[in-house]
Amino acid sequence: MNYKGNASLNLRLEGWRASFVLILLLAAFMVLVGRAVFLQGLHADFLQHKGEERYSRVIEQTAYRGEVLDRNGDPLAISLPAVSVWASRDDADMNPGQLQQLSTLLEMPKEEINHRVNEGRGNFVYLKRQLSQEVAQKVSEIHIPGLFEQKGFRRSYPKGEMMAHLLGFTDVEDRGQEGAEVTFQKELGGLNGARRVIKDRAGSVIEDVENIREPRPGHDVVLSVDSRVQYLAWRELHAAITRNKAKAGAVMVLDPRTGEVLALANYPDYNPNARERVTLTQLRNRAVADTYEPGSTLKPFTIAAALEAHKVTPATIIQTGNGTMNIGPAVVHDTHPGGALTVSQVIQRSSNVGAARIALSLPPETMWNLFTDVGFGQTPKMGMPGEAGGRVRPYRSWRPIEQATMSYGHGISVSLAQLARSYTIFANEGNVMPLTLLKQDGPVSGRRVISSQTASAVKDMLELVVKPEGTAPLAQVRGFRVAGKTGTAHKLDHGRYSNRYVASFVGFAPASNPRLLIAVMIDEPSTGDYYGGLVAAPVFSGLMAGALHILGIQPDDPASENYASPTSVNSAAEET
Amino acid sequence: MKRSDFALFACLIICAVAVVHTQHSARRVFVDLEREKTRGDELAADLRRLQAERATLAASNRVEHVAYDMKMHLPDTHSIIVMGNQSQDLAQLSNATKTVAIAGEIPVRSEAILPEPQSFQGGVNASKTKQPLHLAKRVKQ
């Protein structure tokens, strides 16, 4: 084709048009460059942030709660991973078959699931918390839309009932609610961490952006408790409660050299792993939170006060006459009339009249001082929740009859923990030891309350109690010298003493070098026997024998024919 | 263009590719690291479960139940010899068929009052209440 003939091709364009297009193109280019500078330079941070929001996520890093261990490293409370299942009310949709499966897995009636999902305000509802991973896995396999999982922890208590009151438990939020779990919440509690990460389409983390907060797992806590001794305490207490058809009871085992609590058991108890139907009665940590009138277990303190004041010696004769004593209109009774008794025999036979006579020879202040010094009327400060301080009235208001009854443990209230602690003065050369739930590594210093001579004199008297003439021959432990004191107290019922009793026994062994101090309290034994020597002393004996054996403590009284002389220090019995 | 320009341009391209490659491999290694961390967490969780299980299985009341079923018991105090390192103790031991008790054992009760031990729930939600204190079974035997 010949184009030369085409006139339009011969048009000569004016020069400015080409320049105009060029400028237009340059201007457009400049706009683009400017925009690029604006986006990538000036506005970059904002955009980067917006961009990251699209694919970066803050993920929470869960921190474990610390473990609770016994003094030998045996785990007592461990956090295990658990899963909570929650539903979005707007999205949850399940058919009857799925509902049935879910109800079986969650062990929840179908009505309740329906109720939770369909009633109530808000979109978010927990169906069940703290499921094990196995169950959660099965739940997710049903593939119910609108059902989600949330990771968390569940506290497991391998020792179950036997440690229930000592350890307590945590709530679903992993906070301590009772027992050592509350006491050591600060140490045990972990702090969840958080970090910002970038996730890819598949949802897996591909890059760390920043660490917002390091997760801080809780610290482990090593308790002073020996789980083997604890088991024995719990078992012997259970046996005694069953044998005596008692209402309640408590046992406490201490190391009198350090004030460490080796065992603490209560009845009734509960299983901390299954607390759905636990009543307040079961939760009650009686050894620590309940006070009672201790009865004759207080007599050694009266005697100690009198010995310290040099009013009597262990051999001083006290006239108890026919076993009654009039103080104003009131009468103090003895169970068995004793006639003339030495101070030692007053303890051995637990004579109320004898104790009252000795008490009345003392100024009230002297007795009050000793009671206060050994910790009566003040909380023992172990850190357990709900510790009771008991009640000791100020000595200025004591009338003679009150001073007399207080000498044998009425008109004063103490908790078992306080009573156990107070007896450390006899077991530890006159020093009262602070109670502790934590394992102590070094020696612990106590506070001197009475002289070591007085302590030793009272200890000798307490050894007489378990002799055949004493009130508690059932507290004997073969191979060991045992010292202790029985107590039998009437319970107060609307301000009057009733025919219901609290039987108790506090004692320690080996008397030559006390290693274990045990306090036993049995509330309302109902099979006829109610004396401390018959009801509580056997618990002491069984527990003491077992615990001495477990701890490998050398017998100090191998007189019985079956014991070879343990003269050598290197015994086959291993010290633990 | 000079020769050196070509060389620099080639370097630039190589560097750019290397950056992309390194970034990619860094991400892959990071993903691996995350996976291993998760695995570590799972193993730690397993360890805890196993510790809890061991503690439950080794709980004194279970041990005692097993011992009871196997008719084991601690020798009574009459047949225990506490040994020193004296020859008379050893002589006494050799002529007697007495049992040596080892410190640290739980003394099994000879009478038959034993609460039932709890079973480990293996991480299964512990929602079933434990059986009430069981006495009858042991007494019957």
- pLDDT confidence of A104, banded at 50, 70, 90? confident
The catalytically annotated residue of A296, A350, A351, A415 is A296
Length of chain A equals: 576
Report the distance separating Cα A399 and Cα A379, nearest Å. Answer: 25
What integer is the mean pLDDT of B101-105?
A: 50
* Cα Rg of chain A, angstroms: 37
- pLDDT confidence of A297, banded at 50, 70, 90? very high
> Does residue A131 sit within a domain?
no
CATH code of the domain in which A518 resides:
3.40.710.10
- Residue A303 and residue A163 share a domain: no
Residue of A156, A271, A482 to mutate for B, most B C-beta atoms under 10 A: A156
- DSSP β-ladder status, A414-415 and A291-292: antiparallel
> Does residue A117 sit within a domain?
no
B48 and chain A: CB distance < 8 Å anywhere?
yes
- pLDDT confidence of B113, banded at 50, 70, 90? very low
CA distance B117 to chain A (A): 9
Q: What is the pLDDT of residue A266?
A: 93
Helix (H, G, I), strand (E, B) or coil at A348: helix
- Residue A289 and residue A176 share a domain: no
- pLDDT confidence of B100, banded at 50, 70, 90? very low
What is the number of alpha carbons within 13 Å of residue A159 lying toward its C-beta? 28
Mean pLDDT of chain A: 86
Burial of A41 per CB tally in 10 Å (0-12, 13-18, 19+) = exposed
Contact A573 B82 (CB under 8 A): yes
Task: Evaluate if residue B123 carries a pLDDT over 70.
Answer: no
- Residue A302 and residue A288 share a domain: yes
Least confident of A137-141, A205-209, A280-284: A205-209
Report the distance separating Cα A495 and Cα B129, nearest Å. Answer: 38
What integer is the mean pLDDT of A101-115?
A: 83
- Residue A189 and residue A160 share a domain: yes
> Does residue A495 sit within a domain?
yes
Tokens matching residue A69: 């261990």
To the nearest 10°, the Cα dihedral for A178, A183, A184, A188? 20
Q: Which domain holds residue A78?
A: 55-91+154-223
A162 vs B contacts (CB less than 8 Å): 59-61
- pLDDT confidence of B109, banded at 50, 70, 90? low
**How much is the pTM?**
0.79
This complex has an ipTM of 0.74
Report the distance separating Cα A150 and Cα A159, nearest Å. Answer: 28
- pLDDT confidence of A138, banded at 50, 70, 90? confident
Give me the percent of chain A exceeding a pLDDT of 70. 95
- pLDDT confidence of A229, banded at 50, 70, 90? very high
> Does residue A120 sit within a domain?
no
Which DSSP category does A38 fall into? I
Report the distance separating Cα A207 and Cα A424, nearest Å. Answer: 61
- Residue A164 and residue A293 share a domain: no
- Using the structure block, give the residue that is written with the tokens 């759905």: A276
User: CA nearest A560 in B: which residue?
Assistant: B78
Where a domain ends, among A223, A246, A262? Answer: A223
**Helix locations, A383-522, DSSP H:** 400-407, 416-422, 424-427, 452-465
Report the distance separating Cα A267 and Cα A277, nearest Å. Answer: 16
Residue pair B56/B118 in contact by the 8 Å Cβ criterion: yes
Give which of A352, A485, A345, A341 is closest to A426, Cα–Cα.
Answer: A485
To the nearest 10°, the Cα dihedral for A30, A31, A33, A39? 160
Give Cα separations from B109 to A239, A337, A573, B62 (angstroms). 10, 38, 20, 13
- pLDDT confidence of A9, banded at 50, 70, 90? low
Higher pLDDT, A254 or A569: A254
Task: Evaluate if residue A326 carries a pLDDT over 70.
Answer: yes
> Does residue A103 sit within a domain?
no
Say how far residue A432 (Cα) sits from the centre of its chain: 22
What's the angle, vertex CA A13, arms to CA A12 and CA A16, rounded to 5? 145
Residue pair B79/B93 in contact by the 8 Å Cβ criterion: no
- pLDDT confidence of A321, banded at 50, 70, 90? confident
Beta strands in A439-530 (DSSP E): 447-448, 483-493, 496-509, 516-523
A235 vs B contacts (CB less than 8 Å): 61, 64, 109, 114-115
Report the distance separating Cα B129 and Cα A278, nearest Å. Answer: 9
Task: Evaluate if residue B131 carries a pLDDT over 70.
Answer: no
Number of domains chain A contains:
2
Tokens matching residue B45: 């969780």
Q: What is the pLDDT of residue B40?
A: 92
Q: What is the pLDDT of residue B130?
A: 34
A576 and chain B: CB distance < 8 Å anywhere?
yes
A571 classed as catalytic: no
A107 vs B contacts (CB less than 8 Å): 125, 127
What's the angle, vertex CA A256, arms to CA A250 and CA A262, rounded to 5? 50
Contact A573 B103 (CB under 8 A): yes
Report the distance separating Cα A551 and Cα B85, nearest Å. Answer: 20
Q: Is the dihedral of CA A209, A212, A214, A217 positive or negative?
A: negative
What's the angle, vertex CA A233, arms to CA A488 and CA A242, rounded to 5? 65
- pLDDT confidence of A182, banded at 50, 70, 90? very high
Report the distance separating Cα A291 and Cα A521, nearest Å. Answer: 11
Q: What is the pLDDT of residue A485?
A: 94
> Does residue A420 sit within a domain?
yes
Tokens matching residue B54: 């061991």
**How many beta carbons lie within 10 A of that of residue A322, not counting itself?**
10
What integer is the mean pLDDT of A45-73?
A: 85
Say how far residue B85 (Cα) sits from the centre of its chain: 37
Residue pair A474/A541 in contact by the 8 Å Cβ criterion: yes
Q: What is the pLDDT of residue B97?
A: 40
Residue pair A475/A482 in contact by the 8 Å Cβ criterion: yes
Query: Which phi and psi angles does A171 have, rounded to 5°?
Result: -90, 180
- pLDDT confidence of A1, banded at 50, 70, 90? low
B103 vs A contacts (CB less than 8 Å): 549-552, 573-576
- Residue A177 and residue A250 share a domain: no
- Residue A263 and residue A161 share a domain: no
Higher pLDDT, A450 or A383: A450
Give which of A392, A196, A378 is closest to A293, Cα–Cα.
Answer: A392
- Residue A494 and residue A382 share a domain: yes
- Tell me: the pLDDT tens digits for A512-550? 999 999 999 999 998 888 888 899 999 999 999 889 988
A79 vs B contacts (CB less than 8 Å): 48
Q: A81 forms bridges with which residues in the sheet?
A: A153
- Residue A216 and residue A334 share a domain: no
Query: Which phi and psi angles does A198 have, rounded to 5°?
Result: -110, 130
Tokens matching residue A199: 């996730």
CA distance B134 to chain A (A): 11
- Residue A506 and residue A442 share a domain: yes
What integer is the mean pLDDT of B120-130?
A: 36
- Residue A535 and residue A410 share a domain: yes
Contact B113 A243 (CB under 8 A): yes
- Using the structure block, give the residue that is written with the tokens 């590594």: A441
> Does residue A320 sit within a domain?
yes
Where a domain ends, among A176, A192, A223? Answer: A223
CB neighbour list of residue B126: distance below 8 Å, 6 or more residues apart = A271, A273, A274
- Tell me: the pLDDT tens digits for A479-514? 889 999 999 988 877 777 878 899 999 999 899 999
Beta strands in A245-322 (DSSP E): 248-255, 260-267, 291-292, 317-319
- Residue A336 and residue A199 share a domain: no
Burial of A393 per CB tally in 10 Å (0-12, 13-18, 19+) = middle
Task: Evaluate if residue A447 carries a pLDDT over 50.
Answer: yes
CATH code of the domain in which A166 resides:
3.90.1310.10
> Does residue A127 sit within a domain?
no
Least confident of A1-5, A16-20, A350-354: A1-5
What integer is the mean pLDDT of B10-34?
A: 93
The reply to whether omega before A510 is within 30° of 0 (cis) is: yes
Tokens matching residue B80: 């225990």
Exposure class string for A440-460: b at 16+ Cβ within 10 A, else e: eeeebebeebbeeebbebbbe
Query: Which phi and psi angles does B96 have, rounded to 5°?
Result: -115, 150
- Tell me: the pLDDT tens digits for A380-427? 888 888 899 888 989 998 998 999 999 999 889 999 999 999 999 999
